Structure 1
């Protein structure tokens, strides 16, 4: 079963300390069922470039076989293309194909 997670922000809910803590806890949550892919869009790319806790959590997921994609347009917008620490650069085609082929999609914003 293909499961995809779409993360559109570097926090859950309101931006700030609590929102950041929630997204990091979500990424660190250990479950038996892992997504096949995680797509980071908009401010979500900060989790793979600037947020050390986010980078560590994503590295663990990647080591378990989860593919991590950061939106190229978003990385370029925030001038972070050269700062990507985990995963690979993705594009709209990658994202759309994964979403259309996924049996389940979870979106966090």
Structure 2
């Protein structure tokens, strides 16, 4: 299971430095949408990381699909995100509440 990160070059650089290999730097909403669709089709990806601001620019239907996705589990990083907390997302993807 791999972690994928999609976002601006500034956003993904920290993840690259942390050792995450599947990082996709994109500029513009169309490129973002295409990259998200490619990652959703990639069965080796278990976790997808996006910035909250990028998540909010996606069309409602795609955003809803990402918020409800179990595999890959989608985590929006940055400003406060509506919907599920990271704890709830991990619990849903792993099947166990790791904070208990």
TM-score, with normalisation over the residues of structure 2?
Answer: 0.49
TM-score, with normalisation over the residues of structure 1?
Answer: 0.46
